[in-house]
């Protein structure tokens, strides 16, 4: 798997005509990548209501979960789980107090 820098360099090499254009393509790619991969602090920045998110609860790689943000709360989201009561996605657990960061799923 390539690093973001390697991907940006390859992308810029395919797109540029001169050195100034190469810099623009490279730094534009890196800027977009950095923004997309940035963990947001839930105490500072809130997602849109109803948005599906990748969330983390610590720096441990195993603490990542998919949540839905609804009415100021982060709910563990299990899509298409079987249920005797509904065919709609089931919201399992309120993880609001445990969330340390979030990213939009795009």
The domain locations on the chain are 4-37, 52-104
Judge contact between 95 and 77, C-beta under 8 A: no
Confirm whether pTM is higher than 0.85: no
pLDDT at 20: 75
pLDDT at 100: 92
pLDDT at 91: 58
Considering only CA atoms, which of 81, 80, 73 is closest in space to residue 98?
73
Long-range interactions of 5-10: CB distance < 8 A, separation 24+: 5/30, 7/33, 8/33
pLDDT at 33: 80
pLDDT tens digit sequence for 1-28? 567 778 777 777 777 677 677 778 788 8
Apex 37 CA angle, 101 and 50, nearest 5: 55
Splitting the chain (106 residues) into consecutive groups of 10 residues, what average pLDDT does each group show? 73 72 80 82 93 86 83 80 57 83 87
CA dihedral 16→17→18→21, nearest 10 degrees, is -40
């Amino acid at each position: 798997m390539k690093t973001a820098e390697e991907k940006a360099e390859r992308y810029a090499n395919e797109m540029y005509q001169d050195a100034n254009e190469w810099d623009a393509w490279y730094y534009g790619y890196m800027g977009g990548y950095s923004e997309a991969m940035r963990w947001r602090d839930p105490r500072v920045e809130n997602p849109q209501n109803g948005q599906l998110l990748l969330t983390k609860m610590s720096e441990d790689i195993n603490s990542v979960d998919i949540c839905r943000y609804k009415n100021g709360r982060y709910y563990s989201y299990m899509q298409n789980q079987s249920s005797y009561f509904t065919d709609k996605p089931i919201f399992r657990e309120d993880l609001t107090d445990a969330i340390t960061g979030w990213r939009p799923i795009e």
